[in-house]
Structure 1
Amino acid sequence: MRDYFNAKNYAHVQNVPELPSLIEVQLESFRWFLNEGLSELFDEINPIESFNGNLKLYFPGNIPEAEQFGLKYWFEEPKYSQEMCLERD
């Protein structure tokens, strides 16, 4: 039979690693998506072709056609403020 009263307790950790700022992790991820991720996504699906090959649809990205046709995307200020959205909810 084991001696449970002499068991060692490892629950108390002396050096607790510092946790990253979770808000900053989310903000950095969103910044990456806006600056790089969206372009990469557009590049993956460019171009969308019709079934007979007569039409092609291009999205802005890092492809030569995007520059050739002047395709760009941007983000404008939101139509409603954060407070207004919370009120409307």
Structure 2
Amino acid sequence: MNLFPRTHWTEDTIHHLTSQSNLEFCSTKQLRTLKEACQRIGLPIQIKILEREILLRRAQEKLEEILIMEAKKEQELQQIIEECMRT
């Protein structure tokens, strides 16, 4: 879903954009922009929904980083084991 360029969002538009099915297609930057619009209009429930989604995205990104680091460590350990078995 392309939220840019910004348009004047109405409360109905924001309710539609913050439905769970639409949030999946928003980038984190777009989520933050929506949150700012909700703050300007005064939609506390949508603000909470967007804050939760942003936090979930951050957690997912961190988890992916950790998994990548763990995979690299496992690969390094496997190489060390293989070298030890050769000698």
Return the TM-score normalized by structure 1.
0.26
Return the TM-score normalized by structure 2.
0.26
* Rg larger for: 1
Which structure has more RCO (C-alpha within 8 Å, separation ≥ 6)? 2
